Amino acid sequence: MEPVPVERSSLTLIGGKENLQGAAHCATRLRLVLKDNSLADTKAIGQLDHVKGSFVAGDQLQIIFGAGTVNDVYAVFTEEAGITEMSLGDVKEQSAQKQNAFQKGIKALSDVFVEIIPGLLAAALLMGVTGLLSQEGIFGQQSVAEMYPAIAGFNRFISIMSTGIFTILPLLVVYSATKRFGGNPVLGLVLGAIMLHPDLANAYLVGNGTVEPEVISLFGLKVSLVAFQGGIIIALLMGLVVAKLDQFFSRKVPDIIKLFLAPFLTIVVSGFLLFSAVGPFGRLLSDGITAALMWSVDNLGIVGFMLFAGIQQVIVITGLHHVIGAVEAQLIADTGYNFIMPLMSVALMGQGGAVLGYTLALWKNDKAKQIGISAFGSTLFGISEPALFGVNVKYRFPLIMGCIGGAIGGAYVYLTGIKALGFGATAIPGFAIVAAQGSGHINYVIANVLALTVGAILTVVYFKVKKPNLD
């Protein structure tokens, strides 16, 4: 491929070299961190050759070039701008410095689950496989494992592997959270092991009344020795506690005894807080979140599902959607299923349908077609930002039509009872973690196609009727 030229004058479109703090690229987009995003002329940038769209997300100016082209653009851009190459992680860290305390907190919460999600996706996929092999009625009256005894052993093996991560999930969350908040992650592992210690009463057995926990007096405080299976929210809180205590004692303990005394004090104090304060508070909080979600299902019904699926992508615009991962993890720990993921998927596909409708309505416009095809392709794999910021938010009416499409898809999710076994994947990748019960996979496809189709048709109709000015 011939090198893609970057005109020196184009640097003025981002406010000049002095406004540039860093640059990196992903598979399709050039990502720029600017001191002042308002100085960037995104409309003019969008008209440049090879550019398929531009938007601001995560405090980064992201310019879509497409696979391959972006590498050439980045090489020339860094030379012309006189900056050194940066990794994507460096750019994310640079842009995070511009965020306020609330935004940093939301990002930190998201970062905690980044390392864990691949394991959860693998486990959910394994659960999907064993579900298909074990469920009756999919391939006849008998399950596949019953029809072919030779597969029974393999199915049992897959079943064991699929649940492994969930038995230690709080431990993994404490580890990841401690690491994210700047503490020694090994201390997080130690605290996580304490949370799941076999000498503690199993939280699930205590919950159903089959086991009576031991109660001890700890400095005059009555403490129930109950483990924290499924305590995702508690694990998040304890990761923060361990990290801050580790930092505190590492600063205060003299160097000569720091090696053994600082971690000792960190574990003792965090362990005390776990059983006396953070654990009880976390249980109340997680029970409240789960109860609120289940209440919405029981009382709001189809309206609640349509409302969530209709506005979820609007939440993505604000960046608050990262919180949902923690809620999904707690929901799976408490109920074994995740009804939020299918709603998030149809919400995304509604926006994908809207950008598809935009593309079809402007098919003769090469620029619009380039932007639209690229953005639509991203939505199929669970990435909505190019569609949102490149088209839908920019022109507003596709965003609304996409929200309507998502709401209709949400209604179908409610009526068919689609659930997921994990989280972190939507659209096509999400198919792998859908629960097989009730023809879940077939209904998942129908729900997403329905949301996409409604979003696309409404957007095309709006174009034909209103003939909006897109200048």
Strands 53-57 and 60-64: what pairing? antiparallel
What type of residue is 200? L
User: What contacts 167, CB < 8 A, 6 or more positions away?
Assistant: 196, 229
Cβ-count burial 298-320 (b if 16+ within 10 Å, e if not): eeeeeebbbebbbebbbbbbebe
- Per-residue three-class SS string for 311-364: HHHHHHHHCHHHHHHHHHHHHHHHHCCECHHHHHHHHHHHHHHHHHHHHHHCCC
In the block, residue with structure tokens 């907190």: 105
Whole-angstrom distance, CA of residue 261 vs CA of residue 243: 16
Structural element, H or E, at residue 289: helix 279-295
CA distance 368 to 379: 17
Amino acid in the structure at residue 250: S
The closest of 245, 133, 99, 235 to 176, measured between CA atoms, is: 235
Amino acid making up residue 447: A
Distances 264 to 156, 179, 237 between C-alpha atoms, Å: 42, 18, 19
294: tokens are 């289940």
Q: Active-site positions?
A: 26
